[in-house]
């Protein structure tokens, strides 16, 4: 009896239906897929038919040529690289598991609330837009005014204060310009928590910083060896989040009209983290 070649499949269909009957007859013989009895019957048939014999000879000779090809060995360097890649996958998995295990704590639950749901980014984007607009309105030669930006009161950005940079500062990272800094309300970190950047293509991106509280939103992805969490808010605007020393960083487009470019966000993240 033949081995799985002429029987029916699990649905009761003939897996060789539509196959040329001649091919169906000789091919399993050539490839040793028939049992001894059936193979003997086909061999006798072939021996009695010179045309059939030519067909079989052609197939067998092609198969022999292929079988005689020298074996190809994978380069040793590839083996070594693969093991390193597997290590990287393991580390990535561990990191993601760790991210997911961390529970929200104390007052920093606020950040988690900040990330939760699609409402999160609407006020943030609104605040960013306002900040952007006010910043743009001030003439470059004027003394930098204090800028107050207000967002919805149910979010952390209630009294966002931003201050345009007054003198050419050192760039925050290669290929990135600093546009403005600001503080999130009700925090006393003493550090800027709202930073607006401009990349070399003039793309404005806002970075929000807060102490980590719980898992970061988005899907974990590795980019240039580091873990980022990629996602979109309910309105389809892209964001990229990452953890750096217990501080959550969220990068998002500064303008509400900009739906966000993940590559640009990741590139900025990489530049900031490579400082």
Partner 1 sequence: MDATARQAFEEIALPHLDSLFGVALRLTRDRAAAEDLVQDTIVRAYRFWHKFERGTSIRAWLFTILRNTFVNDYHRKTRERRRTEALTHEASSLGDAAGMASAPPSPEQAVASKVTAEAVHAALDEISDDFRLAVILADIEGLAYKEIAAVMECPIGTVMSRLYRGRRQLKKVLERRIAAAEPSAPISLEAYRKRGHG
Binding residues (CB under 8 A) for partner 1: these are 3-5, 9, 14-20, 23-24, 27-28, 31, 33, 58-59, 61-63, 65-75, 78-79, 81-82, 85-86, 89-90, 93
**In the complex, least distance from residue 82 CB atom to partner 1, rounded to whole angstroms:** 5
**In the complex, least distance from residue 91 CB atom to partner 1, rounded to whole angstroms:** 11
Up-side HSE of residue 177: CA atoms within 13 Å toward CB? 12
**Residue 222 vs 226, nearer CB to partner 1:** 222
**Residue 17 vs 275, nearer CB to partner 1:** 17
**Residue 61 vs 153, nearer CB to partner 1:** 61
Contact 249, 266 (CB under 8 A): no
**In the complex, least distance from residue 168 CB atom to partner 1, rounded to whole angstroms:** 43
**Residue 86 vs 191, nearer CB to partner 1:** 86
DSSP state of 173: B
How far apart CA 155 and CA 121 sit, in angstroms, is 10
**In the complex, least distance from residue 60 CB atom to partner 1, rounded to whole angstroms:** 9
Measured from the Cβ of residue 84, the count of other Cβ atoms closer than 10 Å reads 10
How far apart CA 192 and CA 249 sit, in angstroms, is 12
**Residue 23 vs 47, nearer CB to partner 1:** 23
**In the complex, least distance from residue 10 CB atom to partner 1, rounded to whole angstroms:** 12
Beta bridge partners of 161: 148, 183
- Tell me if residue 236 falls in helix, strand or coil: coil
Measured from the Cβ of residue 108, the count of other Cβ atoms closer than 10 Å reads 18
């Amino acid at each position: 009896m033949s081995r799985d070649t002429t029987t029916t499949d699990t649905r009761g269909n003939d897996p060789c239906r539509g196959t040329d009957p001649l091919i169906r007859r000789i091919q399993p013989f050539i490839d040793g897929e028939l049992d001894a009895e059936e193979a003997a019957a086909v061999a006798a048939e072939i021996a009695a038919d010179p045309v059939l014999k030519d067909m079989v000879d052609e197939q067998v000779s092609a198969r022999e040529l292929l079988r005689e090809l020298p074996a190809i060995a994978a380069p040793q360097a590839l083996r070594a690289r693969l093991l390193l890649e597997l290590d990287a996958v393991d580390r990535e998995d561990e990191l993601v598991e760790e991210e997911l295990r961390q529970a929200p704590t104390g007052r920093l639950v606020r950040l988690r609330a900040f990330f939760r749901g699609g409402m999160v980014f609407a006020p943030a984007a609104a605040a960013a837009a306002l900040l952007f607009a006010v910043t743009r309105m001030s003439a470059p030669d004027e003394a930098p005014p204090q800028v107050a930006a207000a967002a919805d009161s149910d979010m952390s950005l209630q009294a966002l204060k931003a201050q345009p940079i007054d003198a050419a500062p050192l760039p925050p990272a290669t290929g990135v310009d600093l546009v403005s800094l600001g503080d999130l309300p009700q925090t006393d970190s003493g550090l800027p928590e709202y930073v607006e950047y401009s990349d070399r293509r003039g793309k404005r991106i806002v970075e929000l910083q807060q102490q980590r509280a719980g898992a970061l939103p988005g899907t974990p992805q590795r980019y240039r060896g580091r873990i980022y969490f990629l996602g979109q808010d309910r309105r389809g605007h892209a964001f990229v989040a990452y953890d750096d020393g217990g501080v959550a960083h969220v990068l998002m487009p500064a303008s509400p009209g900009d739906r966000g470019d993940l590559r640009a966000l990741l590139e900025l993240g990489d530049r900031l983290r490579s400082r």
